A = this chain, B = another copy of it.
Amino acid sequence: MAKEITPRSEDYSQWYLDIVRKAGLADNSPVRGCMVIRPHGFAIWEKMRDALDRMFKETGHVNAYFPLFIPKSFLSREAAHVEGFAKECAVVTHYRLKNDPNGQGVIVDPEAKLEEELIVRPTSETIIWNTYRDWIQSYRDLPLLINQWANVVRWEMRTRAFLRTAEFLWQEGHTAHATSEEAMEETLKILEIYRRFAEDYMAMPVIKGVKTPNERFAGADETFCIEALMQDGKALQAGTSHFLGQNFAKAFDVLFLNKDNQQEYVWATSWGVSTRLVGGLVMTHSDDDGLVLPPRLAPIQVVIVPIPKPVPALMEAADQIAARLRARGISVKVDNDDQNRPGFKFAEYEMIGVPVRLGLGQRDLDAGQVEVARRDTKEKANVPLAAIDEYVDQLLHDIQRNLFERAKAYRDAHITRVDTWADFEATLEEKGGFVLAHWDGTTETELEIKERTKATIRCIPLDGEAEAGACVLTGKPSQRRVLFARAY
């Protein structure tokens, strides 16, 4: 193999970092906690963004763009919001550099101090609701269904490429509604879009649920989420959709004239997914040979490798196959490198997760066939040249489905119903994954469980049935099971 990856069995965490680096997804940067997203990683993010953007637009949302900076005082307006998380932020205090009088490069000009500090947005509710005050007068201005694609900064202490970085890219939707019901409907509509995106595009099964008050977004009345399970048995929060009630409308005085000619506070939602999804994608499907990508998000879906070299006859055949595949909307790369051997190239394309590889040798060509290798199972087949486009088209769908089903089988096998504290601890230690257990509904118990086991309540599943039981820690009565896990 060209580049070694640490096996998952040896060190899952290092395996992840190896994949990120060796598949060309991201690099560390000289700025603490900030990553450089490399072209291959960014191409995956672009495909995610385009798919989500389409889904948002199909449901009536439009994009806009709000300032990067938030005046410090805005963060104090919504009390729960500032309590909850506005603290670890990048703070801009000055607006000019000058040459160091001692000739040592540049220094911050002390004369250029801002009257009020600016915060690099950690999320944009405050600045957006301050703007909505001007945009909303009457019920005719509602609903307002706006999304933005942006970078945000949260000064995380422990960072890891894609999963937790100081700066990350995301989309944040911020909608305004005339009624509570409509806002709740929007919150759940977006949650369903997130589920569909995760499952249909990322091939990553997720559980929809609602957060406990302790895990709620700061400033929300309810936070809904989708939770996925990674191969090491840890959960990943993959997206959140918040019902904000009238909290931000009250904090920023956003009133509207309703149909009865009365002033009312506006109802709000906000929702987001981020480049963290790229990390989730890696950890859901990849293996010890590199990245495994679902075809719908693969920047290159098929690579054609002439064997052993890109001689004219093979390249001509390869180009013809490529044209037939492209006519079906499949993205194809024809490898024309004449420096490396096929084995080296195969390993490289496995590393970067190209779903289907066609190996094209003269003997195959003479026999009217081509060798097709699928990345997910490593299986190979000889396929008649005449049917190759149909075959590959179908194979891409098969791979997409297989990845989802494989991930779902793993996930389903790692949801354990547990009724005793001993089993709870043992399951987390020995098996990992999601634990469905009864909880007495108090934050105190939730924190105690976290303290003892590092497991948190990922969500109260929306499709969970009511079921009387006893809290796994305290034995107090419980009405339904909730989903615990250790999480990223």
Interface contact A106-B31, CB-CB below 8 Å: no
Whether, in the assembled complex, A86 has its beta carbon less than 8 Å from a beta carbon of chain B, the answer is yes
Binary contact readout A86-119 vs B (1 if CB under 8 angstroms, 0 otherwise): 1111111111111100001110110000000111
A146 within 8 A of B: yes
CB distance from A222 to the nearest CB of B (A): 25
CB-CB under 8 A for A86 and B72, given A39-B64, A63-B39, A155-B95: no
Determine the distance from Cα of A43 to Cα of B68 in the docked complex, in whole angstroms: 19
> Assuming the A-B contacts A43-B62, A63-B43, are A34 and B89 also in contact, with contact meaning beta carbons closer than 8 angstroms in the complex?
no
Which residue, of A43, A67, A104, has the highest number of chain B Cβ atoms within 10 A? A67
Interface with B: A127-135, A262-270, A463-471, which one?
A127-135
Chain B contacts of A92 at CB under 8 A? 90-93, 120
Q: Are A127 and B29 in touch, CB under 8 angstroms? A: yes
* Interface presence of A172 (CB below 8 A): no
Interchain CA distance A130-B75 in the complex, whole Å: 35
Say yes or no: is A372 at the interface (Cβ < 8 Å to chain B): no
Q: Mark A45-83, 1 if CB is under 8 A from B, else 0.
A: 110000000000000001111111111111110000010
Asked whether B82 lies within 8 Å of A90 as measured between CB atoms, the reply is no
Copies of this chain in its oligomeric complex = 2
A175 shortest CB reach to chain B, Å: 13
Q: Which residues of B contact A106 (CB under 8 A)?
A: 72, 75-76, 82, 86-87
22 residue pairs of the A-B complex, CB under 8 angstroms, read A29-B127, A30-B71, A31-B69, A31-B71, A34-B69, A36-B65, A36-B67, A37-B64, A37-B66, A39-B62, A39-B64, A39-B146, A68-B151, A72-B97, A76-B106, A82-B99, A82-B105, A88-B95, A89-B95, A89-B96, A90-B92, A91-B97
**A interface residues, Cβ below 8 angstroms from B:** 27, 29-31, 34-39, 42-43, 45-46, 62-76, 82, 86-99, 104-106, 108-109, 117-120, 127, 130-131, 134, 140, 146, 150-151, 153, 155, 167, 169, 339
